[in-house]
Amino acid sequence: MDFKTPVRAPHLRKSISHSSPRVSIPPSPFMKKLGYGTGINVYLLPNDRTPSTPSRVLSPWAVKKINRSCASEHLSTYEERLQTEAKILKSLCHPNIVGYRGTSRAKDGTLCLCMESSERSLQALIEQRQEEAKGPFPVDQIIKVASNVASALEYLHNEKKLLHGDLKSGNILVKGNFDEVKLCDFGVSVELNDTLQGLKNPEDWYIGTEPWTAKEALDPDFDEDCRPKVSLSDKTDIYAFGCVIYEMLSLCTPHSEFFDMDEPEDSEEESLAFDEDAYRESLGTIPLLPPHLVYSASHKPMIELFCICCSEDPNQRPSAKDISAALQDKENLKPTCQKLF
């Protein structure tokens, strides 16, 4: 099952404009396709730019381009998201967040966002490992991803007061043998208030992608004044962070056990409806690890970390700052992670 970011755009978000380097974007058929998302394709930009100095080596760029074949009624939404992402990305500077390079218009008029290129998404690596039946990722690779993403989230939450809003393996880029891990895709990010315990603009929407979405963002419980009883906060990203660790442990999409892809065609409709109901009930809870996978003792701290991050109660989830600090002490990882409980 292919889970993509929903189409709905944040409510009442203003359009933005900003200056950026002039970049010539070739027609799509002349660029290597790196990936895709909802209404978006990502390409590798040919490295024929002129360096500012003869000795400078130019890094590869990726181009995020609106897919012109998508439904016309959604084009303005996708362009607004890309404008939002460009504005946010331009304001960020962190080693574990993909770098901004500029914006431009392709010859067909579509908006393009140019950014630092990485080799593959974590999602692609998970799918490859699943196809090769290799079992869970080694602990050191899980720690590398978790510590780098936690560091990026700490920066977003504490310094920029931003909720990423769509954290998942498809939005994490990996270069080499986990040499670099970077967070990407800020098209649905929203601003947090100064306490991180709510959105700066109450009219903003949390969009996310369903299997990675925390309980408080899925079906908010409102009080008599029509205000959510549990506010969205930095801890909403932490639930999704826990789901990313789960993905590396299970090689599965969170809560996907309720979708039997090998179900016989003549199966009764009632059983399929029950699976759908069970899936809906499981959303926002701790995902179940597959019973057939075997984990070493060294995996235990990461299993415990994913479980506490996926707590239904956001107050039980650790902050990105605490997670980042805990994962830095690799020699004492188990007792350090236990302090998060």
The set of catalytic residues is 166
The DSSP annotation for 150-188 comes to: HHHHHIIIIIS-EE----SGGGEEEETTTTEEEE---TT
Residue with tokens 């990461």: 302
Strands 40-45 and 162-163 turn out to be: unpaired
- 110-140 CB burial, b ≥16 within 10 A, e <16: bbbbbbbbbeebbbbbbeeeeeeeebbbebe
Question: What count of other Cβ atoms lies within 10 Å of the Cβ of residue 303?
Answer: 16
Closest C-alpha among 339, 329, 267 to residue 305: 339
CA distance 98 to 65: 16
Query: Which residues are within 8 A (CB) of 3 and not within 5 positions of it... i.e. 6 or more apart?
Result: 168, 209, 210, 211, 253
- Alpha-carbon torsion, ordered 230, 232, 233, 235, to 10 deg: 80
Distances (CA, A) of 57 to 18, 50, 53, 138: 27, 10, 9, 33
The DSSP annotation for 246-271 comes to: HHHHHSS-TTGGG--TT--TT--HHH
Question: What count of other Cβ atoms lies within 10 Å of the Cβ of residue 2?
Answer: 5
Closest C-alpha among 236, 256, 252 to residue 244: 252
CA distance 152 to 97: 6
